[in-house]
Amino acid sequence: MDEQEIEALVIERGALWLALSSLWLEREPRESDYAAMVREIDAMGLSLQALERVYRLEMSPVMARYQFSMAGQWREFDENMLLTRLVRHYRRLNGWRRTSWSLFSGLTTMMSRYRFNELVVRVMVARGERPPT
């Protein structure tokens, strides 16, 4: 990926990644956090399946490191550092890496899955769909 492709990726995905990063914060996401996530998801026109891929493969491998760290200083993320890490991960996310992250995504999503499930319900409600009971 050259510099222009990286810039295009950040323009395409950056706002979504930053909005979804609230799923991994130490505190519970606020209503405004969920609303921002739903807006970004709708702005990109993501299906629920595509949203799941972004969550499991693009973000969780990077974001889970914050949750498993002992530092405890992750109430907010440095946006530039976060985007740099997400871009670096995304650039390497092909072939065997994609397969291995798919296999191990249960481990990287376990601490934020309930928040993601809440987000999915909110996306479905915003789209006029009936969430699962």
| pLDDT score, position 70 | 47
The mean predicted confidence, pLDDT, of the chain is 87
C-alpha span between 113 and 7 (Å, rounded): 29
Stretch 116-125: mean pLDDT, rounded? 97
Residue 22: Cβ-neighbour burial (10 angstroms; 0-12, 13-18, 19+): buried
Question: pLDDT, tens digit, for every residue of 33-92?
Answer: 999 999 999 999 999 999 999 999 999 999 987 765 545 445 567 888 899 999 999 998
Domain residue ranges of the chain, discontinuous segments joined by +: 3-126
